[in-house]
Amino acid sequence: FQLRHDLRMAIKKEQFLVYYQPMIRIKNNNILAVEALIRWNHPDWGIVSPEEFIFLAEETGAIVEMGKWVLRKVCSDHRYWIQKGFGPVYISVNFSGIQFYERDFVENIKEILAEYEVDPQYLIVELTESLLIENAYKAVEDIQKLQAAGIKVALDDFGTGYSSLSYLKNFNIDIIKMDASFLKNILTDKTTTIIAKAIINLTKELHIKLVSEGLENWEQLSFLRENNCFSGQGYLYSRPVPLEKIDSILEKGK
């Protein structure tokens, strides 16, 4: 299939882009961090979403090189923001299981950060629940290694797996990203509202920072305000946008 073939050439042909989406502090609208989201600028198809090609990249193993490319780009953008006077920006990067279970996963990250002289404390590694249970023993070990290097660990799509509360006990997580399905249903489904409130309170007591994903409207924002949720991310504040655009957003928030 053509896309699979094209994917192998995409790094060399410089067709990948990184878009960024801000995570916002609910109580004051400050930008806490930006999430890096890869895009593929395909010569025939235009901007292709990772939903269309991440699984292909995983199948062929191309995901490993792609992931390193993303991290290098993120480091280079981080430096550029410092030069522009925005101060160091926290950047959150997604990793899939194939990447996480690579033998030198942590070492590779540390090397790239060092290569670009980026302070590890500004990197957030996003992992999913299902990834962690694949090999819980190694996951615990590598999360420790990441944190020992100063890197922060986020649990992405929280609440969607078979989960979930055992993760909080067994893995030392810095940040939880509550899946968008919660905010989507809080206004119509009472049970969802109760669970979302419980997640907000639970993470607070555990001193874990909570980011609510899929924040699209003012009603959802009021819910997060009323319940003192730490952070939100979604179209209400900004879609994932290319570098030029996130620049002007960061500039405003400086």
Residues 104-163 that bind ligand G (CB under 6 A): 156-157
Ramachandran area for residue 45 (φ above 0: left; ψ -120 to 50: alpha; else beta):
alpha
Nearer to ligand G, 21 or 231 (CB): 21
Answer for which of 51, 104, 117, 205 binds ligand G (CB under 6 A) is 51
Q: In 3D, which of 90, 32, 93 has the Cα closest to residue 231?
A: 32
Question: Residue 234's closest CA among 206, 211, 215, 208?
Answer: 215
CB of 221 to ligand G, least distance (A): 11
231-233 and 209-213 beta bridge pairing:
parallel
Of residues 17 and 84, the one with the C-beta less far from ligand G: 17
**Binding residues among 57-76 for ligand G as defined by CB under 6 A:** 67, 70
Binds 216: which of ligand G, Mn ion, Na ion, none (CB < 5-8 Å by kind): ligand G
The Cα-based distances of 160 to 90, 107, 135, 181, 234 in angstroms read: 25, 30, 18, 8, 18
Binding flag, residue 129, Mn ion (CB under 5 A): no
Residue 128: closest CA among 90, 174, 176: 176
Side chain identity at 252, as an amino acid letter? K
Q: Does 22 bind ligand G (CB under 6 A)?
A: no
The answer to whether residue 244 forms part of the interface with ligand G (CB under 6 A) is: no
**112-133 core/surface letters (b: 16 or more CB in 10 A; e: else):** bbeeeebebebbbbbbbbebbb
Q: Is 37 in the site for ligand G (CB under 6 A)?
A: yes
Q: Note whether 94 binds Mn ion by CB under 5 A.
A: yes
Contact footprint for Na ion (CB under 5 A): 156-157, 177, 213
Contact footprint for ligand G (CB under 6 A): 21, 37-38, 49-51, 54, 67, 70, 94-96, 156-157, 180, 213-216, 234-235, 240
Contact footprint for Mn ion (CB under 5 A): 94, 126, 156
